[in-house]
Amino acid sequence: MADRENVIVVGGGAAGTSIARQLSTMLNHTKHNLILVSSRDYLIYYPSLIRTLVERDPPIRSILPPDFTNVTPLYSARNGESTNATSPTIDGGEDNKAPRPVYGDEEYLGRGLIPLNHLFDGGHGKLIVGKVASIVDEGAHGGHITLEDGTELTWSVLVLAPGSTWEGPFALPEGPKEDCIDHIRKWRNKFKRARNIVIGGAGAIGIELATEIKDRYPEKDVTLVHGQDLPMNDFYPQKWRKLLHDRIRKLQIKTIYNDGIDELKVEYNAVTTRNGETLLTDLLVPARGGKMNTDFIKTLGENVLWSNGCVRINPVFQMIYNKRIYAAGDVIEWEEQKQYVKALTHADMIARNVIDTIKREDATHIYRGSKETISLTLGEGKGATYFSHLWGLQFGDSFTTSYKARYADVDYARRQLGVED
């Protein structure tokens, strides 16, 4: 065991877990140990988090497979009124399979917090819960990392996929899963009690949050404050951004463009924007996106990061100055939008390149980018999707609902991490 070289993956998010799972099937385990270092023993599945934060009750529709939509619930997800039903029933004929169990509130809240105890194929890997404090490069054969508790781990190949840090409702605490569930409950209560909600940022997160709130609480005033002249950013065509604006306004959500909120401080039930506009609010929610979690990577030395904090990499995602260190996910600099699905694409390429490196061969799998695809929910059963393929394809409610149910479903994500339930 001591003679085996360590392949270490840092980060338990989308990129890190996918890389670790693939490597567990590819490495020669008589020669290499596979180690995943993560600050949690579970993955936070962010695509499902917004609805979970806002939902009044666990919605049965969102925890059953897409084919089981004709369900008589135990209660109404909208008003909490109980029914006389003792179990879910399905209309649609004898060919229907029985639905999966209806989860209680505690279990529903935790389904997007996916345990990593089944991550490694055949058990070929080790999870260490901790945070990296520093990285040392010792030359051609690797180096070592030091965790915050003082533990040192040597590495032959190192993969950095630490993801982003978040704020507001998306800043889930590190530690036991129960702490995250408590955090979600607290924010649910904040959304429930608030009357005037101001959201700083009208990117994907801000739009989905605003529309989910308005869908469940139509009586509340919701305002989006955004730094550009339309929702999202210039990466997307004006036509689609204008469509999003129209859909948002149709839901009676107020929009303030070319402005921002610099201080996340509410005084006397009001907040002042960058341009000096005063907005009445009893809940201010930041939705400005994540901050790259790269501070510990600076310990490798100067020039490992670009000025914006991204890791400097080449087209095979090796760090510029060391071919035994790879980076993936949110922390890299690439001409594309940062998304969960992009991290999975990075992972597939990096896993193969790590094997090349172990074989003392040049990494040959080059990243050529991904087509831009974004699918936004705009409340229950509503949404908008954009594909950059061809001339740019746009789709509405029906397609978006079906697409999200298939590719952004929490049960699908759980299966990808080896959790079968």
Residue-level pLDDT, tens digit, the chain, 421 residues: 458 999 999 999 999 999 999 999 999 999 999 999 999 999 999 989 999 999 876 543 443 333 333 333 332 333 333 333 333 322 333 333 434 444 555 566 788 999 999 999 999 999 999 999 999 999 888 999 999 999 999 999 999 999 999 999 999 999 899 999 999 999 999 999 999 999 999 999 999 999 999 999 999 999 999 999 999 999 999 999 999 999 999 999 999 999 999 999 999 999 999 999 999 999 999 999 899 999 999 999 988 999 999 999 999 999 998 999 999 999 998 888 888 888 889 999 999 999 999 999 999 999 988 888 899 999 989 999 999 888 789 999 999 988 887 767 888 899 999 998 7
For the domain made up of 5-168+291-370, the CATH class stated in words is alpha beta
Residue type, 3: D
| Spatial distance between the Cα atoms of 285 and 198, rounded to a whole number of angstroms | 6
Count the neighbouring beta carbons within 10 Å of the beta carbon of residue 195.
Answer: 13
- Cα 216 from chain centroid? 22
User: Kindly report the CA angle at 313 between 307 and 317, in degrees rounded to 5?
Assistant: 145
Alpha-carbon span 130 to 36, nearest angstrom: 10
* Structure letter (DSSP) for residue 379: S
Q: How far apart are CA 392 and CA 305, in angstroms?
A: 33
Q: Is the pTM of this model over 0.75?
A: yes
Place of tokens 């109980």: 82
* Cα distance between residue 336 and residue 43, in whole Å: 23
The strand pairing partners of 12, in sequence order, are none
Two domains, one topology: 5-168+291-370 and 177-288+373-403: yes
Report the largest interatomic distance among the alpha carbons of the chain, rounded to a whole angstrom. Answer: 69
Q: How far apart are CA 64 and CA 240, in angstroms?
A: 31
Yes or no: say if 212 and 186 are a contact pair by the CB < 8 Å rule.
no
- The predicted pLDDT at position 58 comes to 55
Three-class DSSP category at 376: strand
| Side chain identity, residue 157 | V
The contacts of residue 29 (CB under 8 Å, 6+ apart) are 124
Contact between residue 379 and residue 212 where contact means Cβ atoms under 8 Å apart: yes
Could you tell me the residue ranges of all domains in the chain? 5-168+291-370, 177-288+373-403
Burial of 234 (0-12, 13-18, 19+ CB in 10 A): exposed
pLDDT of residue 61: 40
- The reported pLDDT for the residue numbered 107 is 64
∠ CA 48-279-262, nearest 5°, is 70
Alpha carbon 311 to its chain centroid, in Å, reads 19
Tokens of 301: 């030395």
Q: 77: buried, middle or exposed (CB in 10 Å: 19+, 13-18, 0-12)?
A: middle
Domain 177-288+373-403 fold is FAD/NAD(P)-binding domain (3.50.50)
According to the model, what pLDDT value does residue 223 have? 99
